[in-house]
Structure 1
């Protein structure tokens, strides 16, 4: 493959503004996650509230828990997770599958490993605007073979949301979002445009890559890279091993964020109301009174 192209691919290339190592912590019931967004050194990146790189082995997992006011996107890297909720929705997502859940006004669900050994994946929380926080819950699920993908010049992309290399995802994103899974062979490079008004970040899954400018230092796995302003991102794999990362971008909501664990609203009064609704099984949590996962 030819030497990296020296000419800039964008008028205003996005450079790495901040680098954060996702550190291990315990979540749920015995599960281990690397949290890259949603911790003290990167509280959130509007509209993104949290990014976890999770690993869960039976009997650990994420038993019955509530959500309100945002969306969860679960992308399985290896293994399988079974989810069920108080509205009777149940299913298993496996390697390469995606579940895009809009919690809206309220959901209680469980997410438990569906096989032996570690089940691994990424979970992203995307905030909803104030006008969408109390909508009815809904799901979009894509099996691995339903996710559009293409390969060119040593670069493979899976388009979970948005558009890349001429292909587009069927997923509807209530908060405008792009979610791309890139795999670069050694010596490969990619130049991906990003809407200028959006915030964006990279999470490195494996290998190491050069992001933003050709002379910047390589970045290894488990780092979140917050990207600065610009119209696109350039990435080079200068190493002898494959590089895999996700590139995620979204339109900022520019609204106040008040979070209480799994509840994300705009004001403290709304959080207080949510806690009351959950406690008294009302206003979206009615089915919580009697439901327990199986």
Structure 2
């Protein structure tokens, strides 16, 4: 076993993004332009109508994890739905897509909070057709350790003997959602050809070797070992919550302009022209009218988006029923 050393620890500074939303960005800024295969990492929050109205993507994948509340989504391929707490969505932009991501407004005014990660696509897969895969809360296995002091949701990869392998992303990604109580430890095996980072969503001081991370810090690891170790000391007064995410390093150029990602400047120029003239992957713009960019209503949730709580409960019961039969 070789423990990975730390490359850098950087705080995620809050900033405005989209229309009325707030994000803490720790990848895709001046301090960390990218961390192959990762292009951007946002901890977002929105408690009003402000969100992310229709906008394009090309040459990448996005992974969205809802931590609190709900967000509606739709795109010009006809995909649509509602993500609720602990749900995930994996979106492949490929040769081009246009979508909207807008918050569900709650009567008590509470915020919708989540994480969004942008992942580069291998050059040979940048022209694939766009697609969506949703992963509901109940589809993610959860494992406990140290008498319940450590809880891990295994979104992708393997932890504590529990594995989840689904066709979620073209670029290989491991994604773990940890919760730890004071006085606990974690040890995560990691592939040697993956870059890994750890983002502390909440908590006190997390010890990683001789370094310490605090709330809203992103810890970037060097690719020099096969294990990541951490300790959450007894002296902390609240539980810790963090995500540990890794992806296979892509040995290719990254040329990015906003939501368009390619390996050459010429492809970026072509992408802007194709988007402007609705061609070469963006043809569906001509016939698509966004439903949710002006705001999400209860009627939309219950009807066009198919995201009512009743429908969700039925979907969960059906899934768990099938699982029990196996």
Q: TM-score category by the smaller chain?
A: over 0.9
Match of 1:131 in 2: 124
Instruction: Write the deviation string for residues 36-71 of structure 1: whole angstroms up to 9, x where unpaired.
Output: 100000110000000000001221010000000000
SS of residue paired to 2:123 = coil
> Would you say how many aligned residue pairs link Structure 1 and Structure 2?
282
**Is the aligned partner of 1:156 residue 2:142?**
no
Match of 1:200 in 2: 196
**Is the aligned partner of 1:171 residue 2:161?**
no
Shift of 1:292: 2.5
Shift of 1:174: 1.3
Q: What is the aligned-residue RMSD (CA, Å)?
A: 1.1
Match of 2:89 among 99, 102, 126: 99
Cα distance in 2, alignment partners of residues 277 and 240 from structure 1: 53
**Is the aligned partner of 1:56 residue 2:46?**
yes
Cα distance in 2, alignment partners of residues 144 and 249 from structure 1: 20
**Contact between 1:211 and 1:233, CA under 8 Å: does it hold in 2?**
no
Match of 1:267 among 239, 264, 269: 264
SS of residue paired to 1:278 = helix
Instruction: Write the deviation string for residues 209-246 of structure 1: whole angstroms up to 9, x where unpaired.
Output: 43431xx2431111110012211100111023211110
Tell me, which stretches of 5 or more residues in structure 1 are unaligned?
A: 1-9
SS of residue paired to 2:125 = coil
Shift of 1:281: 0.5
Shift of 1:255: 0.4
**Contact between 2:204 and 2:237, CA under 8 Å: does it hold in 1?**
no
**Contact between 1:64 and 1:292, CA under 8 Å: does it hold in 2?**
no
**Is the aligned partner of 1:282 residue 2:303?**
no
TM-score normalised by length of structure 1: 0.93
Match of 2:68 in 1: 78
Match of 1:28 among 14, 18, 24: 18
Cα distance in 2, alignment partners of residues 81 and 171 from structure 1: 23
**Is the aligned partner of 1:122 residue 2:123?**
no
Q: Which structure: greater helix fraction?
A: 2
Cα distance in 2, alignment partners of residues 169 and 138 from structure 1: 20
Deviating above 2 A after TM superposition, structure 1's stretches of 4 or more consecutive aligned residues are 170-173, 208-212
**Contact between 1:209 and 1:235, CA under 8 Å: does it hold in 2?**
no
Cα distance in 1, alignment partners of residues 164 and 26 from structure 2: 25
With over 3 angstroms needed to count, the CA separation of the structure-2 counterparts of 1:44 and 1:108, relative to structure 1, is same
**Is the aligned partner of 1:227 residue 2:224?**
no
Cα distance in 2, alignment partners of residues 232 and 208 from structure 1: 23
**Contact between 1:208 and 1:220, CA under 8 Å: does it hold in 2?**
yes
